[in-house]
Amino acid sequence: MNPPPPIAALDGIRVLDFSTVGPAARCARILADYGAEVVKIGAPKKGALQIEPAYWAYGAGRGTRRIRIDLKAREGREAFLRLVGQADVVLESFRPGVADRLGVGYADACRVNERIIYCSTSGYGKTGPASSWAGHDLDYLAMGGFLHTSGRRADGGPALPGATIADGAAGGMHAAIAILAALLRRARSGRGEFLDVSVAEGVLSLMALLVDEHLATGADPGPGHDVLSGRYACYGVYGTRDQKWLAVGAIEAAFWANLCRALGLERWIAHQYDDAQQDRIRADLSAALLARDRDAWVTELAPADTCVAPVLSISELALAPQFQARGVIGEVEHPQHGRFRQLAPVLAGASRPASVPHLRGAEASDAVPLLRAAGYAAGEIEALLGAGTVA
C-alpha cells in the first residue's frame, strides 16, 4: 500500500461552511478530506430544534470545527465577517438572495477580504426562470435528463436512482472542482471570485455524451438508445440461481467473445450488435447465468476478461475483499456512539488518518478559539456568548 501524501493538498486553506446537508455538505467533506480546515457555521439553537444530520452522516464531522452564529443579529454578522477576513473560501447553500439579505453575501465578504472565494450552491443557479425553485436531488436529475434516460419501472415511469447522484457528483464534486480551480487562479492573480454552482448544470455535465449527441445530430436519447442504456444484451444486469444479480459490461468484441465462450454461447459472438437478434441473445444469456449462483460466476468470469461484476448490497460491499484490501473502510470514535466504522477518505490523493479519529458531539464548539484568533478580546467573546449571538 502506498504511503499517504506527506503534506495534505489543502493544508493551510480555511473554509467557512454554512451547509448542513446536501451538495455543499458533500463539497465540504471533500475539501476536509484533502486537508482544508473546514469551519461549520450553524445557527444558535433558539426556540425550535435545529435540523441536524445523523451523527454518522458526511463523515460524522471528522476533522471539522464548529461555531454557531446568529446572522440576524448585527453582532453576529460582524463576527462572521471577522472570520471571513482570515478565510480562503466561503461555502453556502442558501436560497438565492438570502445571503445578501442577511448581509453575508459575496459583496459583504469582499469588503473584508478581496481574496475570498465565495462558492454558492443552489439547485438551478442564481439566474434564470427556475432559480427560485425549491428542489432536491430527484428534481435536478429530472431537469438534467438523467431520469428520462434511466431504466423504467413496471408502469413505464423512470426508476428512482439508488443514490443521491445530483447531490454527490453534480453538486458536491462540481463545487469542489470549481473551488480547487479558483484557488489555483487566485495563486496567479491574487484575487478571489464568486462561484455560482448550479446542481442541475452539474447533471448536464454528467449527461454530456447524450446531450452532445442530441445537439450534434438531433437524436433524442432515451432508455435503450445505445449500448450504455440497454439496447444490446452485452451490457445489462442478469439474475443468477440464488436470486442475486450480475452486471455484464462486455462492450468490446474481445470481452464479449470471452463471455460467450465461457457460457457456451459461441453462436452469438458475431451478432453482438445485431439489433434483430438482441431478444434471442438476451434470453440465452439470461438462461445460462441462471444455472449457477452469483459468486460462483464471479469466481469464474471476473478474472477471465469478461467485464462481469457482482451487484453488491451495501452490507456486502462493506466486507468486499477488494475494498478491504484498498483500506477504504476506517473507524472513528464518537463520545456518545462509541467506535463505529465509516468510509475513510476515498478520493485519490486525500489524506487518510494515521490513527482512529476521535470525533466530538454535535454540541461541541470552537467559538472561543476562532473568535480569539479573529481578534476578539476575552470580554467581547464573553458578551457574544452570554447574549446567545455566538455559541
Say if residues 13 and 88 touch (Cβ distance below 8 Å).
Answer: yes
| Cβ-proximal residues to 170 (8 Å cutoff; 6+ apart), any chain | 23, 140, 144, 199, 200, 201, 202, 203, 205, 206
How far lies 83's CA from each of 16, 162, 190, 196, 210, in Å? 8, 39, 19, 22, 44
Identify the DSSP state of 70.
Answer: -
Neighbours of 239 (CB within 10 A): 14
- Please say whether the dihedral angle defined by the alpha carbons of residues 27, 42, 104 and 84, taken in this order, is positive or negative: negative
* CB atoms near residue 391 (< 10 Å): 18
Of 43, 17, 54, 65, nearest to 373 by C-alpha is 65
Q: What is the largest CA-CA distance in the chain?
A: 84
Strands 14-17 and 37-42, by their bridges, are parallel
| 247 vs 238: CA distance, rounded Å | 7
Check if 136 is active-site.
yes
Distance CA 33, CA 10 (A): 9
Question: Which residues lie below 8 Å from residue 8, measured CB to CB, with a gap of 6+?
Answer: 34, 35, 351
- The answer to whether 17 is a known catalytic residue is no
Which element (helix H / strand E) includes 283? helix 278-289
| Nine-digit cell string for 382 | 464573553
Grouping H, G, I as helix, E, B as strand and the rest as coil, residue 17 is strand
End-to-end CA distance of the chain: 42
CA-nearest of 284, 289, 306, 285 to 244 is 289
Q: Per DSSP, what are the bridge partners of residue 390?
A: 69
Catalytic residue among 136, 214, 337, 358: 136
The catalytically annotated residue of 167, 174, 284, 334 is: 167
How far is it, in rounded angstroms, from Cα 174 to Cα 9? 18
Residues classed as catalytic? 136, 167
